Amino acid sequence: MKSIRKFLAEAFSELRKVAWPNAQQVRVLTVLVFGASIFVGFYIAFWDLLFTELLKLINPA
């Protein structure tokens, strides 16, 4: 039980040292993540569609 208490105390001590982002940084980074996710989604969808159509031309079944 003592080791668990020590671990939690050290963990909270380390969390106090973290430089947490402010609200504006959180908003900007959230928009950035959503934008990058949408971009990657369209990028993958584009190549998927392209290769699907190429395979249909090669093997029209």
pLDDT, residue 1, reads 84
Q: How far is CA 55 from the centre of its chain?
A: 31
Using one digit for the tens of pLDDT, what is the confidence trace for 8-22? Answer: 999 999 999 999 999
Give the type of residue at 25. Answer: Q
Residues 6 or more apart whose CB falls under 8 angstroms from that of 29 comprise 21
CB 21 within 8 A of CB 29: yes
pLDDT digits (tens, 9 = 90+) for 18-61: 999 999 999 999 999 999 999 999 999 999 999 999 999 999 87
Domain ranges of the chain: 20-61
**Distance between CA 2 and CA 4 in Å, rounded?**
5
* pTM value > 0.85: no
